[in-house]
Amino acid sequence: MAREQESVKLMTPGRKAALLGLLLPLMSLASCNSLAATFLKPDVQASPASVPAGDYKLDPAHASLFFRINHLGYSTYVGRFERFEASLTGDPAAPESATVTAVVDMTSLNIANPEFAAELMGPDWFDAAAFPQASFKTYGLKITGENEADISGDLTLKGKTQAVILKAKLNGSGYDRLRGADVVGFSAVLPISRAAFGVDRFSGLLADEVEIQIEAEFVKAKPG
C-alpha cells in the first residue's frame, strides 16, 4: 500500500487528472447501478391477500417443469420438459375459486441424452407422436396453510385422464418494474402413478410413483 501511495505522489499533474477522470465515471456508474437495483427490486409479499385479483399467464422464461423417479434404488432419475403453457385466474377474496390450466408439449423432453429421450418419447413410454400434449385443469382448491393449497384437477397424459392433487406453495407476489406488471410465483409438487396413465413399462421393477416438480412465475394480463 505504501508503494502504491508513493507511486501516486510521483505522478505528474496530467496523469493524476487522467486517473481522476477515469475513476469518477466508474464511481458514478457504481452508484447508479446501486440506485437502479434498489428501484427495480420488487417488494415481494408471501401472503395470498397480496395477490391482485385477475388473469395471469405463465412467464416461460421463469418457469421449469421436472419429473423425478427412483431408478432401481441406484439414483433419482430427473427429466425436464422445455415447452409448456399455463394460465391462472384468482381473487384473494375467494381463494377457493382460483383456477389453473396447463398444457405440456411432450415432444420437448430434455434429458441431455437425445437417443434415450427419443426412446422415452416412443410408444413404449410417453408415445409423444400419438399423444403430443399433456394437460391439467383444476376443479377445486383447498387451503392447507398460510400460503399453501391442495389443487384438485384432471391430468391427461398419454390419452388417459385421472384426478390428481397438486400441492402448491405461494412464494410471493409483487409489482415487477422490469416486466411492467404484477407477478406471482409458485412452487408445486404433483405425485402420480405412471401406470395409471399407461406408462407402465417395467412395472414391478421400476418405481411406479413419479414426482412432478414445478416452478412458475405468472404475469398479470393487462386490461384490454
pLDDT in tens, 54-109: 999 999 999 999 999 999 999 999 999 999 999 999 999 998 999 999 999 999 99
Report strand pairing: 148-157 vs 75-81.
unpaired
User: Any bridge partners for residue 157, and if so which?
Assistant: 160
Torsions phi, psi of 141, nearest 5? -145, 135
- pLDDT over threshold 90, residue 116: yes
- pLDDT over threshold 80, residue 129: yes
SS (H, E, C) 143-160: ECCCCEEEEEEEEEECCE
- CA 88 vs CA 24, 51, 55, 126: distances in Å: 48, 12, 6, 26
Residue 149, C-alpha cell as written in the block? 393449497
Q: Mean pLDDT in the chain?
A: 89
Of 200, 194, 187, which Cα lies nearest the Cα of 46?
187
**What integer pLDDT is reported at residue 20 of this predicted model?**
59
- pLDDT over threshold 50, residue 163: yes
Torsions phi, psi of 201, nearest 5? -65, 140
What stretch of H or E contains 169? strand 160-176
- pLDDT over threshold 50, residue 8: no
Of 8, 100, 55, which Cα lies nearest the Cα of 223?
55
pLDDT in tens, 28-51: 555 556 766 776 787 888 888 889
Any residues with CB less than 8 A from the CB of 87 and at least 6 apart, and which?
Answer: 55, 56, 57, 58, 100, 101, 102, 218
DSSP label of 197: G
**Per-residue pLDDT band at 132 (split at 50, 70, 90):** very high
**What integer pLDDT is reported at residue 41 of this predicted model?**
84
Torsions phi, psi of 56, nearest 5? -130, 150
Q: Please report, as a single letter, which amino acid is at residue 69.
A: I
Q: How far is CA 98 from the centre of its chain?
A: 19
